[in-house]
């Protein structure tokens, strides 16, 4: 299978490319600087200006590209977050329109932020009403742009990612105070964290590509979300550290600004569609996921287990 990937050099993209390689696929990664990357027999790098004539028949496309949401959300930062996603997605739609033979499926990244925040509501793919905060607006606009693929006959999936756990991404930031013996909950600790192990994320995307009866929104989260207080307690348990401090919500808000809503607030999201279609999670339980990541981290650093 020939698979086109945007954002293929990032945290998620590199893990996904590795899985596609293992499965024997040919991967074409769109990037602004293809000359800066070393190609292999299976992985080729193409410009963001690539035309349909420059590519073989693409069977599936995965759109991950977009400016990082981490950092202080100035108006310029927020504009870059939205514009980068819209630009890449619109360029992909233009490319698909050029293709005589269209891809069979587009997996478009999104986020559980689509739902807004709540301490009580359980969100599933059946939830139709998006939230009204900034991240919800980003996800809504991104998905709306990707829907254009569906209109030209491409099965389209909106992969709504939860907090992705791996050796990169958000987890190292969450673990850092724990490792420094300063672990504890944020605010009242009641906010939900809907998480997913990076291995499950990549395998869920692969599963969606291969199961033609899956389309529309797919919550890419583990089946057992945790409240912040329990999430931090589990990290402390895995690393054998205390879990006693409290980061006051006003202080977090002062330091991180509007982005603090990502950790002060949350949403309980369940992967109903994946479960109903028979996907089997590798890491359904948080402690198992964290122990696997810890093991890999220690192996990488050469530290004995």
The 10s digit of each residue's pLDDT in 71-98 is: 889 999 999 999 999 999 999 999 999 9
Q: Which domains does the chain have, with CATH numbers?
A: 2-299 (3.40.50.720)
Confidence band of 182 (pLDDT split at 50, 70, 90): confident
Residue 304 pLDDT > 70: no
Task: Please tell me the pTM assigned to this model.
Answer: 0.94
Beta bridge partners of 195: 163
Q: Is the pLDDT of residue 283 over 60?
A: yes
The share of the chain scoring above pLDDT 90, in percent, equals: 85
């Amino acid at each position: 299978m020939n698979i086109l990937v945007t954002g293929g050099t990032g945290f998620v993209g590199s893990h996904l490319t590795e899985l596609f390689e293992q499965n024997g696929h040919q991967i074409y990664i769109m990037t602004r600087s293809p000359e800066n990357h070393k190609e292999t027999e299976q992985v080729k790098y193409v410009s963001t200006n690539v035309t349909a004539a420059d590519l073989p028949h693409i069977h599936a496309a995965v759109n991950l590209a977009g400016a990082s949401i981490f950092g202080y959300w100035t108006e310029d930062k927020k504009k870059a977050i939205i514009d980068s996603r819209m630009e890449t997605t619109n360029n992909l739609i233009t490319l698909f329109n050029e293709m005589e033979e269209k891809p069979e499926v587009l997996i478009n990244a999104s986020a559980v932020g689509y739902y807004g925040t709540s301490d009580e509501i359980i969100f599933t793919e059946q939830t139709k009403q998006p939230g009204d905060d900034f991240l919800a607006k980003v996800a809504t606009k991104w998905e709306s742009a990707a829907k254009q693929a569906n209109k030209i006959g491409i099965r389209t999936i909106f992969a709504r990612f939860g907090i992705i756990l791996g050796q990169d991404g958000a987890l190292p930031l969450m673990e850092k105070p724990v490792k420094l013996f300063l672990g504890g909950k944020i605010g009242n600790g009641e906010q939900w964290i809907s998480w997913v192990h990076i291995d499950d994320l990549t395998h869920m995307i692969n599963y969606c590509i291969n199961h033609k009866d899956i389309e529309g929104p797919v919550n890419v989260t583990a089946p057992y979300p945790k409240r912040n207080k329990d999430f931090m307690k589990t990290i402390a348990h895995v690393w054998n550290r205390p879990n006693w401090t409290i980061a006051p919500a006003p202080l977090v808000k002062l330091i991180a600004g509007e982005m603090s809503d990502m950790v002060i607030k949350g949403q309980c999201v369940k992967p109903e569609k994946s479960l109903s279609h028979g996907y089997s999670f590798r890491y359904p339980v948080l402690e198992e996921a964290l122990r696997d990541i810890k093991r890999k981290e220690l192996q990488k650093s050469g530290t004995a287990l």
